[in-house]
Structure 1
Amino acid sequence: MSDKQDVLDANYAFYRAFEKRDFEAMTAVWSQGSDSLCIHPGRSPLKGWPQISKSWQTIFRATKYMEIDTEITLVEVSGDLAYVVLIENVTQISGSNRMQASSTATNLFERMGGKWYLIHHHGSPLLN
């Protein structure tokens, strides 16, 4: 299997964990390092796994249903670093509210111990 495919598989695992609101799977995808960074659309940066994990727990608790479609626009691998640029189309049901949003996202992965881990996720809302 190619490095590019391995990165795409790690990216898929991230969105699968996100969509299924699976905190254990999300934990397995992310680097637990203090330098990891997550920027949810319209939010301030979260640095380090403790802050990042709290944000995912909050999102998962507040959401009854989520569906995510992605449109990958670019995948690059350079040594032990790789990034995926894509469009996220998210449908979310929280309480009685149904929300739909699209974001441009960049996911940065680092290969550690032969496995690709997410070290940076940045989502920027697309304005219609």
Structure 2
Amino acid sequence: MPRSTSARAGLQSSAEAAETVFYEALQAADVDMLMRVWADEDDLVCVHPGGPRIVGAAAIRASFEQILSRGVLRITPERVLRTNTLSCAVHSVVERVQMQADPGDTKFAFVLATNIYIKTPDGWRMVLHHASPGTAHEVAEVIATAERLH
């Protein structure tokens, strides 16, 4: 089902810009903004860490509404590797995740994510977000890199 004209406002001129909006929407717990990043395709796919394959915009929206209703979620993309062509972009991201369900109850994790964007007549839009739990190796690598940079 096509989105409204107002939902199409602010479409992205690059896959990098679309990804920025995606992570800003997660930080703000703004499902409407988050869904504006997704393409108007029937076969959109999203996999959350340890979860099943979710297909379609309505199901993806419902999954993010459920996740974002659980508390404050901060996701910081790090160590992004990009492969771009004229009409497709694949971003491999290490996500630093901080979730606070209750005051004083903060949990941390590292997640490995792949975000795929396609260039549409309406701009760059996401067609796949696949996230998996990070391994101890990725965690150590991200922490070691962060320590060298600061």
Query: Is the shorter-chain TM-score for this pair beyond 0.5, marking a shared fold?
Result: yes
In the TM superposition, what is the alpha-carbon distance from 1:72 to its structure 2 partner?
3.3
Is residue 38–residue 46 contact of structure 1 (8 Å, CA) maintained in 2? yes
| 2:40 corresponds to 1:32 | yes
- Select between 115-124 and 91-100 the one with higher mean Cα deviation: 91-100
In the TM superposition, what is the alpha-carbon distance from 1:114 to its structure 2 partner?
4.4
**Partner SS for 1:35:** coil
Superposed, 1:34-73 pairs within 5 Å as 34-63=42-71, 65-73=72-80
| 2:111 corresponds to 1:124 | no
Q: State which of 86, 90, 95 in structure 2 corresponds to 1:88.
A: 95
Q: State which of 83, 93, 102 in structure 2 corresponds to 1:76.
A: 83
Q: State which of 91, 106, 109 in structure 1 corresponds to 2:114.
A: 106
- Select between 97-106 and 48-57 the one with higher mean Cα deviation: 97-106
Compare CA radii of gyration and give the structure with the larger one. Answer: 2
Is residue 68–residue 91 contact of structure 1 (8 Å, CA) maintained in 2? yes
Identity %: 25
Map of 1:14 onto structure 2: 22
Q: TM-score, normalised by structure 2?
A: 0.76
Query: What's the C-alpha RMSD, in Å, of the aligned pairs?
Result: 1.5
In the TM superposition, what is the alpha-carbon distance from 1:79 to its structure 2 partner?
2.4
Q: Give the distance between the partners of 2:65 and 2:73, measured in 1 at CA.
A: 14
In the TM superposition, what is the alpha-carbon distance from 1:92 to its structure 2 partner?
0.7
In the TM superposition, what is the alpha-carbon distance from 1:125 to its structure 2 partner?
0.6
Question: Which structure dedicates a bigger proportion of its chain to strand?
Answer: 1
The size of the alignment, in residue pairs, is 123
Q: Give the distance between the partners of 1:50 and 1:73, measured in 2 at CA.
A: 28
Q: Give the distance between the partners of 2:66 and 2:25, measured in 1 at CA.
A: 14
Mark the runs of 5 or more structure 2 residues left unpaired by the alignment. Answer: 1-12, 137-150
Structure 1 stretches of 4+ moved >3 Å: none
Is residue 103–residue 126 contact of structure 1 (8 Å, CA) maintained in 2? yes
